[in-house]
Amino acid sequence: MPVLGINIRKISIEKIKGPTAQVEVDLTPKIKELRLGEIRTPSGRVNGIEVLFEYTITYKPDVARAFIEGLVFYTPKNKEDTDKILDTWENENKVDPYLFAEVVNAITNEIMPTLMSLSKQLRLPYPIPLPRVNVSAKRE
């Protein structure tokens, strides 16, 4: 797995007013910066990419807003790709699509339980829809 760790630095959620009948929730992940990083593991030091991110959750109409900021430590499958990814970011401010997908999925998996709990406590709609069971009218 290319994501070795996630460090959440800031979580902010604010309820502005009570929800209305129809509320849309928009999740917006954003990569702020990529930089060379290093972590220490029991087997030694590992070089990789530190991905600084922002994750914004907006509600329409404006009933609440949430903001998460943090850092993800990402290690490409090939160590040679580290320099290539960082050079692309430095020269063009573009993120490799595979890196973006891995990072956003890891962040979402990490923060969604917290967001669900906070949404419940603030009596806000959940940021993602919950599965529902439907009973069909047809009986045999």
CB within 8 Å of 24: residues ≥ 6 apart: 59, 60
**Are the CB atoms for 34 and 50 separated by under 8 Å?**
yes
pLDDT over 90, % of the chain: 33
Q: How high is the pLDDT of residue 10?
A: 95
Q: How high is the pLDDT of residue 60?
A: 87
Q: How high is the pLDDT of residue 5?
A: 86
Q: How high is the pLDDT of residue 11?
A: 93
Tens digits of per-residue pLDDT, 102-137? 999 999 899 889 989 998 998 888 887 777 787 877
Q: How high is the pLDDT of residue 140?
A: 62
Instruction: List, as own/partner pairs, every contact residues 40-49 make where C-beta atoms lie below 8 angstroms and the sequence separation is at least 24, other chains included.
Output: 46/4, 46/75, 47/75, 47/79, 47/82, 48/4, 48/73, 48/74, 48/75, 48/76, 48/82, 49/73, 49/74, 49/75, 49/76, 49/82, 49/85, 49/86, 49/99
Q: Residues of the chain whose pLDDT is less than 70?
A: 1, 19, 139-140
Q: Which domains does the chain possess?
A: 3-121 (3.10.420)
**pTM for the model:** 0.80
